[in-house]
Structure 1
Amino acid sequence: QPEFVSVTKKETTNKDIRQLYYVIEEKDRDEAIVRLLDKEEPTKAIVFCRMKREVDRVAELLQARGINARGLHGDMEMRERMEVIKGFRGRDIDILVATDVAARGLNIEEVSHVFNYHIPFDPESYVHRIGRTGRAGKKGTAITLVTPLEFKELERIRQKVGTKMEYGFVGAEGEGEENLTERFLDALREQDIDQEAVKIYETLSEEMAPQKVAYKLISMILEKGVLESRGEGIGLSKEEVERLMAMHGVEEKPKKGGGRRRSGGNRRKSGGGHRR
């Protein structure tokens, strides 16, 4: 008569942590993490990997992209590990790429973001990982990359932890709010006027002010994600994720623009600055 005990209870994650997930293809995982770091602009961040060799490879990948990153895992000598942690606590290292060795006991208040390069093996690990951000009353962001095949595991963690996660889309490299506005204006200028649109506008103008009609139409276009689908983005579209959710019985709809919010923080390239 075995008894199963779980230490991961409902709502065990910090409510000050905004949790996002991005559904991507396996081949796009590296590019996704680079673009998300560029988009989110964390003050300090931890990128969690499952295996030690992944830590070394991802750290080298980020360094090659001009990101001030270092790896941390159990195969490193104690002196080297302490050196990396000291640098991360200070201003020498911005991005820490680590195994779950950094998921417990590492208390650094300045960590604004946690990235799960790979989804953790169990709900408890997820809770400990994302708990590295949102400390001392500060807000934090936790982002998880999953493939369609891993989506079931993500849903298992979400149900076990009882937490709320939003879906995001990894946009084109360098894409920001300004880029979206420019593309919207360009598309609007090039759009031909359909006669059916004229009839609809005439009907709407009798019910509300022209300015309100314009606001509502623009909001509808942005909500549908029409412009985002034209970019060189990474990952599944909103409609594909909705189908994936339906397949696994998830009722919550993905939120448009998940992960678009940018947090503050000055980026420094290695050797005098953080970003390329």
Structure 2
Amino acid sequence: MESKGFSELGLDENILKALDVMGFEEPSKIQAEVIPILLEGHDAIGQAQTGTGKTLAFAAPILSSFRRSEGKINSIILTPTRELAIQVNDELNRIGKFTKVKLIPLYGGQPIERQISALRKGIDIVVGTPGRVLDLIRRKVLDLSSIRFLVLDEADEMLNMGFIDDIEEIIKNSNEDRQTMLFSATMPPEIKKLAKRYMRPEAKHIAVSKGTMTVATVEQYYYEVKNRERFESLCRILDVEEPSAAIIFCKTKRGVDELMEGLQSRGYGVEGMHGDMNQNQRINALRRFKEGSSEFLIATDVAARGIDVENVSHVINYDLPQDVESYVHRIGRTGRANKEGVAYTLVTAREYTSLKHIEKATKSKIRRREIPTVDEIFVSKYKTMLSRIKETLEEDSYKRFIPLATELDEEFSLVEVAAALMHMLYSKEVSYDYSENAIGSASESKRLFLTVGRMDKVNPKKLVEFFSENAKINKEDVGDIDILEKFSFVNVTEAAAESIIKYCSGKRFAGRKLNIEISTKSRK
């Protein structure tokens, strides 16, 4: 059965326009099922794994139905962590680009006075963590008595983090006539009780199954990049790895066109496929790729559906897909017929959390790789040239050039001649004008998530001392420290992050076993 497009779900034109700009071609399963129900005004429980596109599933209907009421909050979205609050707020900003909606993320670790000031100036939609939201309610600054929508995002995670009492108090302070949406990967008894107590009896329960989410024959890696260096990073990867046949995925049709133009201008053999191309264009592009006249096929998810190409050595996610299922479908283009394949994904620091969700959902290991240096590109190209030269020497076809080489020998050293010819070949093989040996900085900070907070009587001094004693790091390696009620975030250098995770995670600190993991690259 063919899935519906976003335009068939009943969304407002401004939202459809924003989704088109964002490059979404068709809804995920949870979006296709939940959006019409929410637009009809029903309460809804959406049960689906993280990474299936749940944010858009509730954000698009809320923004489609948005009507400003001066001085009153229209909607509130509760998330378990600061990181998710920022992520959801950013997503709403993009989806609501043409609606002039006023948004604010509310979370601990930021000056509350600044948040109070913003609320008093007028905010339409609040995205926040339960602790900070409840604090602002108790201060009589945040009034939810007129809200139209209430969303509990990652409800099971909020339960695991001990927020259930806070959530109930927030709900009790909310408009009784609101529309309520609850999204959760699992449905433990406490979440079911919460839904029964605070949602309408006729609330719709939509569950999206995970399906098969593993690709065992594909080696998976990721490169952390900066957005402005994404294109150069890809060129470096292609120049070092030299894939025999690779499909490169972009999130948008415009992205396919721009990347295709950029790679073609630098001499890479590239074809492109997306929804705006007619059938003949797509068939011809696919034929040239299959025949090997082009090394790379750049495509959107929808355009690549149904592609059946043997011997694809690599899949490269130039952009991270919107959900786990799309990721699995993408990397499944390689590693077929029990052959090994390789998948590379380019992610920014902010996308790292989404990548970890994919890793968890697919039960696979996505290993980190460093962006190649120019020195590494040189070594790779040298090995390729050497192999080709040896193959040529084993044949007779080169012998007609011996008289010309003998003539050059009278004026130049043949070693210099060989080096000059290799330089010419190298210049032809490497089209990008790399200005620096390496891009990115190894000294940039990592953001660590720690499972201790104010409730454990933790302070910055104690944390730094604990790190110094166990991981043998310097105080200068530690940057910003944000201590919240039940957990903390610490910025440290990349080298220090590795030592802290290795020597501190799992140890007892502040009377409990401490778990530490990388959150995002740095505080924004």
Instruction: Provide structure 2 residue ranges, at least 5 long, that are not aligned to the other structure.
Output: 1-203, 381-435, 450-488, 491-514, 519-524
Q: Which residue of 1 aligns with 2:254?
A: 53
Is the CA contact 1:115–1:144 (under 8 Å) kept in the aligned structure 2? yes
Match of 1:149 among 314, 334, 350: 350
Read off the aligned partner of 2:210 and give its amino acid letter: V
Q: Deviations over 1:233-259 (max 9, x none)?
A: 23453x758x3465697759xxxxxxx
Matching of residue 119 in structure 1 with residue 324 in structure 2: no
Query: Quick one: structure 1 residues 13 and 152, their matched pair in 2 at CA, closer, same or farther if it must change by over 3 Å?
Result: same
**Which whole-Å CA distance do the structure 2 matches of 1:174 and 1:68 have between them?**
23
Shift of 1:104: 2.9
Q: Which amino acid aligns with 2:437?
A: E
Contact 2:375 2:437 in 1 (8 A): no
- Asked whether the equivalents of residues 273 and 304 of structure 2 are also in contact (C-alpha less than 8 Å), the reply is no
Q: Deviations over 1:25-66 (max 9, x none)?
A: 110000011111111111100110000011011011111111
> In the alignment, is the contact (CA less than 8 A) between 1:55 and 1:98 conserved in 2?
yes
Matches of 1:103 and 1:13 in 2, distance apart?
A: 19
Q: Secondary structure at the match of 1:160?
A: helix
Q: Aligned to 1:82, what secondary structure does the other structure show?
A: helix
- CA distance in 2 between counterparts of 1:31 and 1:21 reads 15
Q: Residues 54-103 of structure 1, C-alpha deviation per residue, up to 9 Å, x if partnerless?
A: 10110111111110001110100111110111111112221001100244
Match of 1:233 in 2: 438
Question: Where do 1:15-164 residues align within 5 Å?
Answer: 15-164=216-365
Does the aligned pair in 2 maintain the 1:47–1:115 contact within 8 Å?
Answer: yes
C-alpha contact (below 8 Å) 1:20/1:166 kept by paired residues: yes
Alignment of 1:196-215 (within 5 A): none
Distance 1:250 1:55, change over 3 A: farther
CA–CA distance in structure 1, aligned partners of residues 223 and 448 of structure 2 = 13
Aligned residues of 2:275 and 2:303 also touching (Cα < 8 A): no
Q: Output the amino acid matched with 1:37.
A: L
Q: Is the 8 A contact 2:249 2:316 kept in 1?
A: yes
> Structure 1 residues 63 and 176, CA, compared in 2 at 3 Å: closer, same or farther?
closer
Q: TM-score with structure 1 length normalisation?
A: 0.65
The answer for the alignment partner of 1:197 in structure 2 is none
Shift of 1:123: 0.1
- Report the Cα distance in structure 2 between the residues aligned to 1:124 and 1:170, rounded to whole angstroms: 26
- 3-state SS of the aligned residue for 2:223? strand
> Which shows bigger deviation, 22-31 or 99-108?
99-108
The structure with higher relative contact order (CA 8 Å, sep 6+) is: 1
Check the 8 A contact 1:20/1:142 in 2, yes or no.
yes
- Tell me, what secondary structure is at the counterpart of 1:128? helix
Is the partner of 2:205 in helix, strand or coil?
Answer: coil
1:31/1:95 Cα in 2 relative to 1: closer, same or farther (>3 Å)?
same
8 Å contact from structure 1 (residues 47, 98) kept in 2? yes
> Within 1, Cα distance between the matches of 2:332 and 2:282?
20
Instruction: Assess if the C-alpha contact under 8 Å between 1:8 and 1:123 holds in 2.
Output: no
Q: Which residue of 2 aligns with 1:6?
A: 209
Secondary structure (helix, strand or coil) at the match of 1:93 reads coil
Q: CA RMSD in A?
A: 2.4
TM-score, length basis structure 2: 0.35
Deviates further, 20-29 or 98-107: 98-107
Are the counterparts in 2 of residues 44 and 110 from structure 1 also a CA contact under 8 Å? yes
Q: Residue 169 of structure 1 contacts residue 236 of structure 1 at CA under 8 Å; is this kept in 2?
A: no
SS at match of 1:144: strand
Partner SS, residue 219 of structure 2: strand
- Unmatched segments (≥5 aa) in structure 1: 180-230, 253-276
Cα distance change on mapping 1:72 and 1:236 into 2, 3 Å: farther
Distance 1:78 1:60, change over 3 A: same
Amino acid of the structure 2 residue aligned with 1:50: K
2 CA distance for matches of 1:149 and 1:17?
25
SS at match of 2:229: helix
CA distance in 1, matches of 2:440, 2:338: 33
- Please state which structure has a larger fraction of its residues in strand: 2
